Amino acid sequence: MTYFDMFDKMLNLVRKRPALYFGENSIRHFQSFIIGYSLALDEYKIIEWEKEKFAADTPLPFWFFYEFTAKKFGYHESTAGWARIISDNVGDGNMESWKRFLEIYDEFRDMRITGCAKAVPNEENIKFSDELPIKEKLEIGNGEFKEHKIFDKPLGIYLLTLTGGYELFLCECEDYILADDSLLDKGKGILMAKKFFGDITNISKCDIHDIPCGKEIKMKWLSMKWLP
């Protein structure tokens, strides 16, 4: 059972009478309720997180809901969180904010991957990426850090097209999939690929079901930091 299965089951109960479950019609209270609910699902092994994946027949993983909400209200570089974005624009503690959340969530829930393109990085692409001054600091203990390449042994670059005209950038590495934690505007995906891997000449359409789903997914705000 996936997170969405359980989330929708819970949401169907609280849709009409939210105050019965978290005190008042408050989006921020609901966000706190969700955090507790998610922790319980994880603690008691009720859901299988490994089934959260990118696939044509499933919604986007829930962590993209913040990004989708930000897009709906015209936010570009905000870490306010989806509940604050809605409450700042619609108010909180009223049925209007609750109604707006449901509208945005239902639209997000219906988003699907409609197309996929893939490129296999060649030696020049990998060298280009390795030589970038962009590194992460990885904590190794005792307050010490070491530099860590963002793309460790990249195997494939994927550009996903979504309903609504958005794009996603994924990079399959040897041990994990690195996904940009952003819904990119149309045409930005290839710009990101070139930003990190130089001249990509072998990109071509692929079957949606070729998207690798069996590896751990790591999320990074790549475009927010390194795209113009």
DSSP, residue by residue, the chain: --HHHHHHHHHHHHSS-HHHHHSSS-HHHHHHHHHHHHHHHHHTT-S-GGG----TTSPPPTTHHHHHHHHHTT-SS--S-HHHHHHHHH-SSSHHHHHHHHHHHHHHHT--EEEEEEE---HHHHHHHHT-S-EEEEEEETTEEEEEESSSSEEEEEEEEETTS-EEEEEEESSEEEEESS-BPTTHHHHHHHHHHS-----EE--GGGS--SSEEEEE-HHHHH--
Q: Is 76 left (phi over 0), alpha (psi -120 to 50) or beta?
A: alpha
Predicted local distance difference test score (pLDDT) of residue 168: 92
Predicted local distance difference test score (pLDDT) of residue 135: 62
Predicted local distance difference test score (pLDDT) of residue 130: 86
Residues of the chain with pLDDT under 70: 48-53, 77-79, 134-141, 143-148, 223-228
Is there a contact between 3 and 62 (Cβ–Cβ < 8 Å)? Answer: yes
Cα Rg of the chain (Å, integer):
19
Instruction: Report which of 194, 133, 198 is spatially closest to residue 169, judged by C-alpha positions.
Output: 194
The residues pairing with 145 across neighbouring beta strands, listed in sequence order, are: 139
Buried b (16+ CB within 10 A) or exposed e, 43-65: eeeebeeeebebeeeebbbbebb
Predicted local distance difference test score (pLDDT) of residue 128: 92
- Distances 94 to 26, 86, 174 between C-alpha atoms, Å: 7, 12, 48
Q: Tell me: the pLDDT tens digits for 93-125? A: 888 999 999 999 999 999 999 999 999 999 999
Predicted local distance difference test score (pLDDT) of residue 204: 94
Instruction: Report which of 127, 113, 221 is spatially closest to residue 158, judged by C-alpha positions.
Output: 113
Predicted local distance difference test score (pLDDT) of residue 227: 47
Angle at 24 between CA 7 and CA 47, to 5 degrees: 15
Helix axes 64-72, 82-90, angle to 10 degrees: 20
Predicted local distance difference test score (pLDDT) of residue 179: 87
Domain ranges across the chain: 3-109, 113-226
